[in-house]
Structure 1
Amino acid sequence: MARFDCDILISGGGIAGLTAAAAFGTAGFDVICVDPTPPVTDRDDLRADMRSTAMLQPARAVLEAAGLWERLAPHASPLQVMRIVDAGGEMLEPRLTKDFNAADVSDLPFGWNLPNWLLRREMVARLSELPNVDFRPGTGTTSLFTRLSEARVGLGDGTRVRARLVIAADGRNSPMRQAAGIGVRTRRYGQKALAFAVTHPIPHENVSTEIHRSGGPFTLVPLPDRGGMPSSAIVWMDDGPLAQERHDMDVAAFETAMSDRSCYLFGPLTLASHRTIWPIISQQAERLSGERLALIAEAAHVVPPIGAQGLNMSLADTATLLDLARQRPEDLGDVQMLDAYHKARYSDITLRVHGIDLLNRASQVSDPTLRDARAMGLNALYSMGPVRRRLMRLGLGVR
C-alpha cells in the first residue's frame, strides 16, 4: 500500500473547492475532494444557490488551467461596464450615476458572470473527466491529525485519508481550520442579503449595476436572456429584519418592492427564481496555513458581496498555492511551501477585507449628511482619471 492515499485532500466541494480540485488534478496531482452536502446543479431545485459569480480577468487564467473555461465560456455573460448609482435621496430616481468601463484599462471585459448552480454543474462534470481526482459528495471531514511529514484526515464514513497536503475550502465555519486551532476575526453588520434572478424589459447591455441607497447595495449583474427576456442576477443587501420580511413577501408585493429599489432602471422587474437569504459578515483567519494545511476561500476570508471580490480572492488563493506546488512538487505541503503561501496572500487579503468593509459601511448609512458625503466622494473619485483607473485595476486583482 502506498504511503499516501493522495497528494491533496480538499475539504469542501463548493465552487472554490471544486475549482481547486480541477486545478490540482489537471496539474497531475492525486486529489480527493469531499463535502458533506452533494452539490445542487439544477436551477429549479429549491436548494439551488441562486447567487451568481463575476469571474474577473485573473480568474479566467485559473479556470483555463483547470480545464474549466472551455465548459463555462458558452454560458458566461461579459461584464464590460460597472455602473455605480447613488439613489440616496427621497425620490426613486437616481441622483448620481458613474460608469467604469473596462476599455479604460483593458481590451477585455472586467469579467464574466455565471450562475453558481451552473458553475457547480460544469465543475462536477470536469472532475469526472480526471482519473486522478476522486470526488466524494455526501462525505465530510471529521478530524485532522498532522505530523511534520503528513496529514491524516478522518471522514464521515469512518475512513481515514493520509495526504501530503490538506486544503481547507470548507467555509466560514471551517472544521479543518478549527481542528488546526487557527483563530478568526469577525465583523457583523446586522445585514442579510437576498439573492434571486429576474427578467426585465430593458436590456442590461452587459452592464453590472450597483445601486446605493441605505442599508446596503442593490446589485444587478447580467445573465443570459431567459424566455426571450433580458435577465439579471440580483443581490439585495439590507438590515436583517427588513431583508427577512422581503424574503417572506408574496411574489406580487416583492416584485413591487424590488422594482422600486431598482429605481426602474430596467423597467419593472419580474421574479424568475426562488429567493435565498444569508447573513453578511466580514471575517479573516489569523493565519492562512498550519502544519500540512492551507486555508483558501471562505475558510480564509469572508467579505460582503461588493465589487465581485469574494470568489476572485479565493481563486487567487488557489493560483498562488498551485504555483508553489508546481515549483517544488517533491516538497508539497512542507513548512517552507505553506509559509510562502501565507506570506504571498495575507497582505493582499487584509487590504481587500478592510477595503470592502469600508465600502459596506458607507453603503449602510441612512443619515442625509453622510449620504451626501458618499455621493460627493464617488463624484470626486470618478473625476480623478489616474485614481479611477488605478482603483479599477486593483478591483480586477492586478497591480
Structure 2
Amino acid sequence: MDRIKTDILVSGGGVAGLTAAAAFGSAGFSVICTDPDAPVTDRDATGADHRSTAFLHPSIPVLQAAGLWERLTPHAAPLQIMRIVDAGGPVAEPRIVKDFDAAEISDQPFGWNLPNWLLRREMVARLRELPNVTFLPGTATARVMTREAEALATLSDGQRIAARLVVAADGRNSTVRQEVGIDVTTTGYGQKALAFAVAHAIPHNNISTEIHRSGGPFTLVPLPDRNGGPASSVVWMETGPEVARLAALPVAEFEAAINERSCGVLGALRLDSARTVWPIITQAAERMVATRVALIAEAAHVMPPIGAQGLNMSLADLSALLDLAMANPASLGSAEMLATFERKRHLEVKARLAGVDLLNRTSMLGEPFLRDLRAGALNALYSLGPVRKTLMKAGLGVR
C-alpha cells in the first residue's frame, strides 16, 4: 500500500487534538487527524462527555486562529468570578467565602465555559470546512517509526502515513508516546471525579464556585441556561470508594448528597445528565519531543481538574507549536523547531503540575486542624491585594 503524505498527523480526536487539527489546517498545512473512537456530539447519547471546559482568555487567540471561536461563543458561559468556599468546619456549610473577580486584572472575564460534548460537535463541523484536513474517526494511530526526514505511521485500518510532524494528542495512555519511547512519571491520589450537569434554583451569575471540605473540591461551573433555567456543570472529587458509592446511588439519594455537599450555594440542585467517573492523577512525560514528534495535552501532562488548568495548558502547548510552525513552515518538524518547543514548554509544564499537585493535596485534607490551617491560609492570601492579583494572573498563565 502506498504511503499517504501529509504535513502533520494529529493522533487523537479529543478537544485538544481536534483544536490542533483545525489550527494547523487553518494555517494552510495539510493535516490528517485520527481518533480511535467516533466523537460523541449529542448531549443525551451514550458515552457523551458531561465534563465542561473553561477556556481562559489567554487561550482564545489559538481558538480564533483555528476558526473555532466564532462557532463556540454563542454557546459559552462567561466566568467573571472564581469563588472559593471553605466548608471545612464541623458542619457542611460555608464558613469562609472569597471572590476572585476578573475585573481586578482585566476588562475580560477569566474565561468561558462550554460542555465537552458540544465542543466536539462544533470542532468536527469546523474540520469539515477545511479541504486540507482529513478526519478519520474510528481509526487509531497504531504504529509510529521516526527518522530524520519524516515520521512513518501505520493506522489501525492499515493505511500508511508519511508526515513531517506527528502531534501526539492521544491522551494519558498515548500510543505515539509509547512508540517513540518517552517515559512518564505518574502520581496517584486515591481519588476519582464524578462529572455531571445540574439545574439549580439560584442563578450562577457567571460565578464558578469551588467548595472545599475534604476528599477534594466540589466545583460548580456556569453553563448557559437550559430549558429556561440556570444550569452548571459539576466536578466532584472524592476518594475512589466514595465516588463508586455516589455513582451507584439512586437519583433521589444522589441529589440529596449533592445538595448537602454544595452547601446550598445555588439553592436546590437537580441532576440533569448522566454521571461519569474519571480517575485523578498527575502525570508528566520525561520530555515533550522525539524525532519528528511533539507531545501536547494529556500525552504530555495530566493533572487534577483544579483551576481550569488542564486544557488551557494543552492549548498553550498548541499555541507554542503553531507559532513555531508558522514562523518557518519549511522547518516543520525539524530538530531545531522541536528543541525550541521543548525549551518553551517543558519547564512551564513541570512548574504548573507541581502547583496543581499542591492545591489538590490541600483540598483533600480531612483532619479538622489541617482544614483550619487551609481556611486561615485562604483568608491571609485573599486579604493581601497584590498577592491576590498575582495569584489570579498566575492562574491565567499571564504575567
CA deviation digits over 1:171-211, x for unaligned, max 9?
Answer: 00000000010011110000000000000111100000000
Q: Which residue of 1 aligns with 2:76?
A: 76
CA distance in structure 1 between the partners assigned to 2:2 and 2:317 by the alignment? 29
CA distance in structure 2 between the partners assigned to 1:368 and 1:26 by the alignment? 53
Do the aligned partners of 1:208 and 1:220 also contact (CA within 8 Å) in 2?
yes
Task: Give the counterpart letter for 1:230 in structure 2.
Answer: P
Q: CA deviation at 1:226?
A: 1.2
Matches within 5 A, 1:208-227: 208-227=208-227
Q: CA deviation at 1:78?
A: 0.3
Task: Give the counterpart letter for 2:367 in structure 1.
Answer: D
CA deviation digits over 1:243-302, x for unaligned, max 9?
Answer: 111001000000000000000111111000000001100001000000000000000000
- Where 1:365 maps in the other structure, the secondary structure is coil
Do the aligned partners of 2:2 and 2:160 also contact (CA within 8 Å) in 1?
no
Task: Give the counterpart letter for 1:302 in structure 2.
Answer: V
Q: Which residue of 2 aligns with 1:109?
A: 109
Q: CA deviation at 1:2?
A: 10
Q: CA deviation at 1:92?
A: 2.3
Q: Which residue of 2 aligns with 1:49?
A: 49
The CA RMSD measured in Å over matched residues stands at: 1.1
CA distance in structure 1 between the partners assigned to 2:133 and 2:169 by the alignment? 16
CA deviation digits over 1:296-323, x for unaligned, max 9?
Answer: 0000000000000000000000000000
CA distance in structure 1 between the partners assigned to 2:90 and 2:268 by the alignment? 20
Q: CA deviation at 1:52?
A: 0.2
CA distance in structure 2 between the partners assigned to 1:226 and 1:64 by the alignment? 26
CA distance in structure 2 between the partners assigned to 1:350 and 1:182 by the alignment? 16
Q: Which residue of 1 aligns with 2:134?
A: 134
CA deviation digits over 1:333-368, x for unaligned, max 9?
Answer: 010000100100011101110000000000001001
Q: Which residue of 1 aligns with 2:120?
A: 120
CA distance in structure 2 between the partners assigned to 1:159 and 1:99 by the alignment? 53
CA distance in structure 2 between the partners assigned to 1:4 and 1:122 by the alignment? 27
Do the aligned partners of 2:4 and 2:160 also contact (CA within 8 Å) in 1?
no
- Where 1:192 maps in the other structure, the secondary structure is strand
CA distance in structure 2 between the partners assigned to 1:77 and 1:71 by the alignment? 14
Which 5+ residue runs of structure 1 have no aligned equivalent? none
Q: Which residue of 2 aligns with 1:375?
A: 375
Is 1:279 aligned to residue 268 of structure 2?
no
CA distance in structure 2 between the partners assigned to 1:270 and 1:301 by the alignment? 34
Task: Give the counterpart letter for 2:312 in structure 1.
Answer: N
1:4–1:160 distance in 2 versus 1, CA, 3 Å: closer
Do the aligned partners of 2:3 and 2:161 also contact (CA within 8 Å) in 1?
no
Task: Give the counterpart letter for 1:370 in structure 2.
Answer: L
Task: Give the counterpart letter for 1:225 in structure 2.
Answer: D
Matches within 5 A, 1:1-399: 5-399=5-399
Do the aligned partners of 1:88 and 1:212 also contact (CA within 8 Å) in 2?
yes
CA distance in structure 2 between the partners assigned to 1:329 and 1:226 by the alignment? 44
Which aligned segments of 4 or more residues in structure 1 are displaced greater than 2 angstroms?
A: 1-4
CA distance in structure 2 between the partners assigned to 1:39 and 1:3 by the alignment? 26
Q: How many residues align?
A: 399
Q: What percentage of residue pairs aligned between the two structures are identical?
A: 65
CA distance in structure 1 between the partners assigned to 2:158 and 2:346 by the alignment? 35
CA deviation digits over 1:71-107, x for unaligned, max 9?
Answer: 0000000000000000001112200000000000000
- Where 2:134 maps in the other structure, the secondary structure is strand
Which 5+ residue runs of structure 2 have no aligned equivalent? none
Do the aligned partners of 1:4 and 1:164 also contact (CA within 8 Å) in 2?
no
Do the aligned partners of 2:186 and 2:282 also contact (CA within 8 Å) in 1?
yes
Q: CA deviation at 1:329?
A: 0.5
CA distance in structure 2 between the partners assigned to 1:373 and 1:88 by the alignment? 10
Q: CA deviation at 1:331?
A: 1.0
- Where 1:136 maps in the other structure, the secondary structure is strand
- Where 2:315 maps in the other structure, the secondary structure is helix
CA distance in structure 1 between the partners assigned to 2:244 and 2:4 by the alignment? 47
Q: CA deviation at 1:64?
A: 0.4
Do the aligned partners of 1:171 and 1:298 also contact (CA within 8 Å) in 2?
yes
Q: CA deviation at 1:229?
A: 1.4
CA deviation digits over 1:157-177, x for unaligned, max 9?
Answer: 011100000000000000000
Q: CA deviation at 1:3?
A: 8.4
CA distance in structure 1 between the partners assigned to 2:369 and 2:269 by the alignment? 30
CA deviation digits over 1:358-396, x for unaligned, max 9?
Answer: 000000010011100100011111011111101101111
1:220–1:240 distance in 2 versus 1, CA, 3 Å: same
CA distance in structure 2 between the partners assigned to 1:266 and 1:51 by the alignment? 19
Q: CA deviation at 1:4?
A: 6.3
CA distance in structure 1 between the partners assigned to 2:98 and 2:222 by the alignment? 18
